Structure 1
Amino acid sequence: MTIDAPAGVAIVETTATSDRDQSSYVDWPAIIAGIILASAISLVLISFGSAVGLNFLDFGYGDAPNPIFVGIAAATWFLWVQVSSFMAGGYLTGRLRRRYFDANEDESDLRDGAHGLLVWAGAAILGTMIAVGGIGAAANAVGSAAATVTTAASNVAEGAADAVGPNAYFIDTMFRSTQPVDAEAARREAGRIFAQAALGDGAVAEADRTYLAGVVAANTGIPPEEAQARVDAAIASVEQARQDAIEAARIARNTAIIGAFLLAASLLVSAIGAFWAAQKGGNHRDENTVLTGVFRRF
């Protein structure tokens, strides 16, 4: 373009260049700031919610707390904490992001929202790493305790090889006798009979029932009928414990499935919230919006 300059006036033409043209649109410092804020808010609110929840759960008095109510309350609090923390981090990132003036408003909003999604992804990965680290530490502690118990048991147990062998039950059947035997040996053999039944459907064979009743009668001196009643009661108790364990495993499995679906849903809602909050932060940045009632000079 040609400019006619008045006499005696010098015009210097300059070309505006910016390093932004050569850099990425991703503003990593703003994203990191959002991740730190989101993680900190989540940690504080989850700790606070845990303290309040444990304060209301008094297991020493009255009826036990309703697990359904506890689960709903915990899930609701966790969802609110997760969404609000990600939105706070997304808003901060959108407000701090340096805007590139080579795009219209729609494109700028999209870039702000993308920064919010990066905050969501980074905070989610950081939270997962912390959670996995905590689970790993707990697993190591449990493994160490189990190893200690196993070592102690192996040091004090007598006749361990006879009790643990996979063929011990079948060997016992060849040497069965209804005559009085050592009480400890009878207990171990009864344990092997129950263990063998647990490998199947949990039912104790009729021959094993009759044998156990004879051993109990021979070692205790009670009538055969009473000995049979004791054996039937013990078998019923073992079966009830087995059914309780199966039910507990089923509940734990269903709980894990529901928890996984809820976690995935809450993460999706949090992603939407972080995207929207980052766009809102970018709009406030462009409009120089100041919340004078909250952020003001003292």
Structure 2
Amino acid sequence: MLNSDAYVAALDESSTASGVSWAAVFAGAVAAAALSLILLLLGSGLGFSAISPWADKGLSAEGLGISAIIWLAFTQLVAAAMGGYLAGRLRKRWTTLHNDEVYFRDTAHGFLAWGVATLVTATLVVGSVSSLVSGTAQVGATLSTSPATAQVADNSDDSYFIDTLFRDDRGAPVTSDAAHDVAGRIFARNLASDNGALNPDDRAYLAQLVAQRTDLSQADAQARVDKVYGQAHQAVVDLKVAADAAKKAAAHATLWMFVALLIGAFVAAFTAIYGGRQRDAVVILDDRRTVPVR
């Protein structure tokens, strides 16, 4: 049993001393942030080595996304476990506190270490990742709107469709002129419409322009207009589908990132409890007596 002087000293220490060992928290956070950075760089290297510029080579986009999510969860698991354990193991000994209070403080130390490490890692790495995700989502939102469809129809790919529209078999090169510009504006206007269908008046006028510029008959010119415009419309549809897929991928990546961070917080708190219990069990052994480490 404690004497009165020891009891007063213990009560004074428990009431005035801080409940957080910030040195242990920051030590665990630095270790977790450094390990996260190393593992993220390793994952990036493995990801770049798994992809290929050729369509039929390397890991697919879906496989790469799943691998990135798994690696992110693994990184959080390992780094948070390390940071939480160090935060619990390196904190000072609380000799006058109830076991429930020690349990709570160890949990808080692990959570704080995880929080500081997450903020540091976000500042160093995740800023670029979030920019990439938000940029992908912004591109997807832009491509899925009608004004953007007009821009898509008016870009360099449109020049190919217009040149295709005025090709002939005479062998002489066909230079750009006012007819190309008019056809380009007609394409952009119709592709930007809600249904993307070619206006009958514009269709007839384009057929007339093509017949004048080539040796095709009116019927053949009409068929070429329908074919080329169909190709252009399909290209725009493919872009919109790709944009929707990019937006969904960005949303899924954000949700899985949240899940991985939540797992990291839990693991950090749990390993801090384990490290704290090992810390309280440490003693100094000499020839005279056994003294607990403060």
Q: 1:125 Cα shift?
A: 2.1
* Structure 1 residue aligned with 2:179: 186
1:83 paired residue among 77, 83, 87: 77
TM-fit CA distance, 1:92? 0.5
Which residue, out of 260, 264, 277, partners 1:266? Answer: 260
1:46-67 Cα shifts (integer Å, max 9, x gaps): 1112212322323348545322
Shift of 1:127: 2.5
Whole-Å separation in 2 of the counterparts to 1:89 and 1:16: 32
Match of 2:247 in 1: 253
Cα deviation, residue 183, structure 1: 3.9
Aligned partner (choices 41, 48, 51) of residue 47 of structure 1:
41
- 1:235-250 alignment runs, 5 A limit: 235-250=229-244
Q: Give the superposition deviation at 1:86.
A: 1.0
TM-score (ref. length: structure 2)? 0.72
Is structure 2 residue 136 aligned with structure 1 residue 125?
Answer: no
CA change 1:124–1:95 in 2 (3 A) is: same
Cα distance change, pair 137–268 in 1 and its aligned pair in 2 (3 A): closer
Q: What SS class does the counterpart of residue 177 from structure 2 fall into?
A: helix
* Rounded Cα–Cα distance in structure 2 between residues aligned with 1:59 and 1:223: 43
Q: 2:107 aligns with which of 113, 119, 124?
A: 113
CA distance in 2 between partners of 1:135 and 1:268 (Å): 18
Question: How far apart are the structure 2 equivalents of 1:59 and 1:50?
Answer: 16
What's the TM-score once normalised by structure 1's chain length?
A: 0.72
How many residue pairs align between the two structures? 238
How far apart, in 1, do the equivalents of 2:126 and 2:71 lie? Answer: 21
Report the CA distance between 1:286 and its aligned residue.
Answer: 0.8
The amino acid that maps onto 2:203 is: R
**Residue 280 of structure 1: CA displacement?**
0.7
In structure 1, stretches of 5+ residues that fail to align are: 4-12, 140-162, 164-181, 291-298
- Partner of 2:136 in structure 1? none
- 1:10-159 equivalences in 2 (<5 Å): 16=9, 21-60=15-54, 62-63=56-57, 65-131=59-125, 133-134=127-128
CA deviations over 1:97-144 (Å, ceiling 9, x no partner) = 1132231222202101101111111222222333464369889xxxxx
Change (3 A) 1:55 1:235: same
SS of aligned partner of 2:96: coil
Name the SS for the 1:114 alignment partner. helix
Bigger-Rg structure (1/2): 1
Query: Equivalent pairs: percent with the same residue?
Result: 34
Structure 2 gaps of 5+ residues are 134-153, 155-174, 285-294
